[in-house]
């Protein structure tokens, strides 16, 4: 999931704030006073849920006012946040790539290379035992395990192909490429 994609929860929060403020709120007030991010407002405007109007006073800078357009059944609501597939963070990608590299080049158990990869990816880890516990917890995540297989079997993957967005699609693509034969 792209982290800058409007979901239904964020859209309803935007609606609730606008309703509480009387039906129209300035763009700056939404951002500064209510913690709504600028990309949420822009995407809601692009999808036709809100309208951004410009008020130009005779003196001073113009203000941008956000109003709700329509909440009728014709507007297709975005999916819920939990419905969108999640993406790995940059640290998790780094951990997975290092774990695959260490496992490919070293002859060690999974916990040893996972601990070394965790210590390299997360430099603020305090102890080796804590890193081992955290690495073990990370490897229980099916998406991280699938990403590890993706990087471990990279010789089967065509150059420049991006990793799929879910664990099932990673395994399916690796089977298509013959990585599990």
All domains of the chain in start order, with CATH? 8-83 (1.10.10), 90-177 (no CATH)
**Average pLDDT in the 61-86 region?**
79
Q: Is pLDDT above 80 for 3?
A: no
Question: Which of 174, 171, 91, 170 lies closest to 135 in space, CA to CA?
Answer: 91
Looking at residue 65, its pLDDT comes to 94
DSSP 35-79: ---HHHHHHHHHTTSEEEEEE--SSS--EEEEEE---STTSPPPP
Q: Which pLDDT does position 75 carry in this prediction?
A: 66
Give the Cα separation of 171 and 57 in Å (integer).
59
The 3-state DSSP class for residue 116 equals helix
Closest CA to 154 of 83, 104, 80, 120: 104
SS3 content of the chain, % helix, strand, coil (to 5): 50, 10, 40
What is the predicted pLDDT for the residue at 151? 87
Tokens 């929860």 label which residue?
9
Kindly tell me if the per-residue pLDDT of 1 is higher than 50.
Answer: no
Start-end of H helices in 21-127:
27-34, 38-46, 90-105, 110-121
pTM: 0.59
What separation, in Å, do the N-terminal and C-terminal C-alpha atoms of the chain show?
Answer: 30
Most confident among 63-72, 93-102, 109-118, 126-135 (mean pLDDT): 126-135
Determine contact, residues 18/66, Cβ cutoff 8 Å. yes
Q: In this structure, what are the phi and psi dihedrals at residue 155, rounded to the nearest 5 degrees?
A: -70, -20
Position 72 scores a pLDDT of 56
Alpha-carbon distance of 169 to 79, in angstroms, equals 20
Q: Reply yes or no on whether the pLDDT at 62 is more than 70.
A: yes
Q: Are 42 and 2 in contact (CB under 8 A)?
A: no
State the burial class of residue 42 (Cβ atoms within 10 Å of its Cβ: 0-12, 13-18, 19+).
Answer: middle
Residue with tokens 């997360």: 122
- Cα–Cα distance measured from residue 107 to residue 26, given in angstroms and rounded to the nearest whole number: 60
């Amino acid at each position: 999931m792209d982290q800058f994609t409007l979901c239904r929860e964020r859209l309803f929060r935007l609606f609730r704030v606008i309703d509480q403020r009387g039906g129209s709120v300035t763009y700056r007030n939404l951002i500064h006073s209510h913690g709504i991010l600028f990309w949420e407002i822009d995407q809601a405007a692009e999808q036709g849920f809100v309208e951004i109007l410009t008020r130009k006073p005779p003196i001073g800078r113009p203000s941008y006012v956000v109003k709700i357009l329509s909440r009728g059944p014709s507007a297709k609501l975005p999916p819920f946040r939990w419905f969108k597939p999640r993406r790995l963070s940059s640290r998790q990608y780094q951990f997975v790539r290092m774990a695959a590299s260490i496992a490919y080049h070293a002859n060690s158990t999974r916990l040893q290379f996972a601990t070394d990869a965790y210590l390299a990816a997360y430099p603020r880890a305090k102890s080796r035992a804590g890193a081992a516990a955290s690495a073990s917890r990370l490897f229980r995540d099916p998406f991280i395990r699938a990403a590890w297989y993706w990087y471990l079997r990279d010789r089967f993957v065509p150059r420049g192909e991006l990793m799929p967005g879910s664990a099932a699609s990673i395994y399916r693509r690796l089977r298509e490429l013959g990585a599990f034969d």
